[in-house]
Amino acid sequence: MTTGNLVARVVPPLPRRWRGRYLVERNVISTKSFWPVFLSGFFEPVFYLFAIGVGIGQLAGDVEVAGIPVEYTAFIAPAMLAASAMNGAVFESTNLFFKLKYAKIYDGVLATPVGAKDVATGEITWALIRGAFYSAAFLVVMAIMGLIHSPYGILAFPATILIGFAFGAAGTAATTYMRTWQDLDLVTLITLPLFLFSATFYPIDVYPEFMQVITWISPLYHGVILIRGLTLGILEWTMLINVAYLTAMGIAGSWVTGRRIGALLLK
């Protein structure tokens, strides 16, 4: 079986000009050997949902969102969904470090018609796919628990794809600047505060004013607000700002990744 036939069998048909699909295909095949690790990123936000949402939710009561009282579990569930998309995209994007520095996978790839920009888009797409996988599974959990209160909740899935794009692109871009394994600790140093302080567990208006400004800069905050509005059916025009922020982040990260991979591999 030729490589082209294998790609057609595993990956849906994509534009012929986009050769990054071969990187997606490679990642799909390589993931089969360590699928438990692949699944691990899904369970953390689910555990938080049950431990905090269901447990503390019994004590916390309702939370006001845009003046509307919402049960605490329904308040934090969209945040856990956004965090799930972030975790999947970010932690998959950091695998680029091993491929780039040690496995030297891309040295061989560039000997084919696949170029540096194809490598960048292929790896970002795979990070996005992993985030989308986690998000879809988490949405099913939310639906079973009755935490989607609006028909607009169906749009939460494309919103998580946007979050995955933003964080996947930013993650791959940041990974190209890493030099040692210790640099990977910075990933947790950044993602953990984002997870805890992005209006995840309580409304932003309970923060001190300076923290509100910092939180508004957080990309996860924009993802949380976007998904929370969709699942609760509370739509505001400011959600367009959330979409624009995440889109700009993804485009900027993709551009930096393409230039950095080209500079590292073609020097």
Return the percentage of the chain with pLDDT > 70, whole number.
79
The phi, psi pair for 11, rounded to 5°, reads -110, 135
Q: Which of 42-51, 151-160, 184-193, 216-225 bottoms out in mean pLDDT, i.e. has the lowest?
A: 42-51
Q: Which of 104-108, 188-192, 225-229 bottoms out in mean pLDDT, i.e. has the lowest?
A: 104-108
Q: List C-alpha distances in Å: 262 to 96, 111, 119, 164, 166.
A: 14, 13, 9, 23, 20
* Residue 231 clears pLDDT 60, i.e. is over it: yes
Q: Per-residue pLDDT tens for 37-80? A: 556 656 766 777 777 766 776 777 778 787 788 888 888 889 98
Determine which helix (DSSP H) or strand (DSSP E) holds 244, and give its type and residue range.
Answer: helix 239-265
- Would you state the structure tokens that stand for residue 187, as one six-digit string? 């990933």
- Per-residue pLDDT, averaged over 151-167, amounts to 91
* Residue 82 clears pLDDT 60, i.e. is over it: yes
- Per-residue pLDDT, averaged over 224-245, amounts to 93
Q: Which residues contact 133 (CB under 8 A, 6 or more apart)?
A: 38, 42, 88
Is residue 38 exposed (0-12), middle (13-18) or buried (19+ Cβ within 10 Å)?
A: middle
Q: Which residues contact 14 (CB under 8 A, 6 or more apart)?
A: 21
Q: Which of 35-39, 120-124, 144-148 bottoms out in mean pLDDT, i.e. has the lowest?
A: 35-39
* Residue 145 clears pLDDT 90, i.e. is over it: no
Any idea what DSSP says for residue 200? S
* Residue 243 clears pLDDT 90, i.e. is over it: yes
Q: List C-alpha distances in Å: 130 to 52, 124, 267.
A: 25, 10, 30
Q: Where are the domains of the chain?
A: 45-265
